[in-house]
Chains A and B, each alone.
Chain A
Amino acid sequence: MKLYSDAELAEFTPFSAESPESTRRRMRDARAAAALAKGPFGPLVLRHDDVVKLLHDKRLRGPGMDLARLSGIPEGSRTWRRQLNILLFMEGEHHHRLRRLVSKAFTPRAVDALRPYTRSVIRGLVDRVFADGRCDAVPALCNPFPIPVICALVGIEPDRISDMSRWATSILQALRFDAGMFLADIEQAQAELDEYLDGLIDARRAAPRDDLLSRLIAVEEAGDTLSREELQAVVAMMLVAGTDTTRNQLGNMIHTFTEFPDAWSRVRARPELVPNAVEEAIRWAPATQAIPRFVLEDIEIDGLVIPKGVPVALMSMSANHDESVLPGADRFDVAREAPDSWQLLTFGGGIHYCLGANLARVELTEALAELSSRFESLRLDGEPEPNPPGSVIIGYRSLPIAWR
């Protein structure tokens, strides 16, 4: 058995400017040759079954505060303290406690109740541009879509939605590899959000409503409740985790359908395919390319040893295209019936499985249902511009489309 670093393996840099199509091709070749590739900080795990196993392996932990340290966020700053309470960066009993308290108020059924409102949001966005026959999907449809939905879930007042959008854009910079460069902006936005939430928490405590914030305030397990700072951190987390991902995934889905007009016709002809089409779109072009983990003990994959202390990237994007588990993985098939052994890995798995996965599905299915019913056809109307390198989320910052 040899160290992975001594083996002849393909080299790959996640979150670079490489196009998804080129990435898919290189991953396919690398995956056929070996279970691992070499990334800039550590090995990349390429195959579906290995990624599934490792997501449930206790010898790996989540990324913790590694990213915050690397990206220059000062320890003890407001931004640091908020990141301490982002579930993905927490571990052990601390993580377990917060996730249990939060997930109690975030069940799939509660999320399903947002369907009508979600549909009305995307419908309104389409209404604004429909007569033009064309738009840049990113500013017109994708970016404004998730914020009102998250706000409705949490219980943010509608007249503060534009503030939430502004704060989200600033605070999201905290997840960049060069976050330290934007610290003043992040801290300012975080302080304004905290102040607003302070008042909102008092209001909801006095007069609870049927929203997530009221449920979080009321949530209690054997006398344990969430502190004010924890409540503020949880809302900030939802803003961060629930906007960038969804809006980029919507962009990726729209882009994918411009590449496969037959698939668009199929979904229009058979609207019952929408949920399946969304799953396939999330598989095909995921907004998340890699799931970062940290190895606590030596582990062995396919005869290669990854030593303790090494950061590992579980390449969900590669695993999603693993043809050895999913026949015809290189085809975009909206009517695909995946085998039992298959798991979609875009939302991860295990203890850090995306808490918002069901909300993401509600949003994306309502969006696809609305767009496919309104747009007779869908094509690119210019050169799309992908997110710049260093973005943790894969997507587009400009996506010109036309439907007439």
Chain B
Amino acid sequence: MYDGALIDCDIHYLPRSESDWLPYLEPRWREFVESPGDGATVPISGQFISVTEQQEGVFRHDSFPGDGSPPGADYELMREQYLDRFDVGAALLTKSAGPTSTNGELVAAICRAWNDWLVAEWLDGRDDDRLFGTLFVPTHDPLVGAAEVRRAGAHPKFAAAHLFHAIARPFGHSIYDPVYAAAAEMDLPIYVHGATGEISGSDAPPASGGAVLHYRLEMFASLHHPMAHHLTSMIVHGTFEKFPGLRLVIAEEGIAWLPWLMTQLDANYELMKRESKWVRRRPSEYLRERLGVSTQPIEASIDDRRALVDYLETVEGIEELLCFSSDYPHWDADEPTFIGTILPPAWHDKVFYDNARRLLRLPDRVPVTAPVVASG
């Protein structure tokens, strides 16, 4: 079993309550949120599509701190249940989605406040070198987003810039270029988690072929649909060519969709070259070089370890893309020991460490000092 250094690309933190980060909100927007006139507060989140509703929320039952705060809010419990228990070397603190308000100005203000709170409370506030952050990028106005990447991204403990909202335009559209330019300049990979807002307030369909989903299985089964489109779009419309330093890490969308997508992309290479001046290499090469995909929720069970790997291996070099993530404390979290039993030992160094190390903006002093031991 793998016992080398471990980088986890998706651990969920939360504030204890909204009042934790509200003091960081600009006064104009704090007044807007707290004082609409009827004594209530303005909801800062829009509505997710109906089938995302779960009786138990999205959390492991044992991850509730017990003091009324939500899972992911209690650092000590996070250490005990996850960081220390699995000797995590570097943990990327993430949140499933940014503010989902439809008001882009409000979203941008919340992103700034939230990023500042995350620095104060978690990245600087805890004496723990393992913790790294993802900064929220507001995209309603990509120029505002680019400014935030440069502002918040100046803090060295942000390891990625989280795009959580596609404005009904696939990510290859040049409207996002200012954000990519800023991310490349700051050496921050773009981070995308779950669907990119398509299940939480985007105008775009969350799944292909019929956007109205009936069951949460269908929602979880299609979480990668928008991302498959965004990746295709970025290849065809030249994002990777325009920004040679740009990297991308995507989380919580599973991995079994990669073989068919990479195959289809390459199978359509000639068509792409005809329709776009930007496609200059076989499409899968861009992905092998620039993309990391978190392993969770892995499409395998303990009863059938080979079915997934047999399929993954139909595409050569797919292990170059895989980055371990736990998704602690969500209901479908994968522990590293479980992933280690599913994926071939020959892939472990890449999956648990090398790929994330190459893609994330981690400092040279990244505290993954444990020797990388050959796995077996």
Determine if chain A interacts with chain B: no
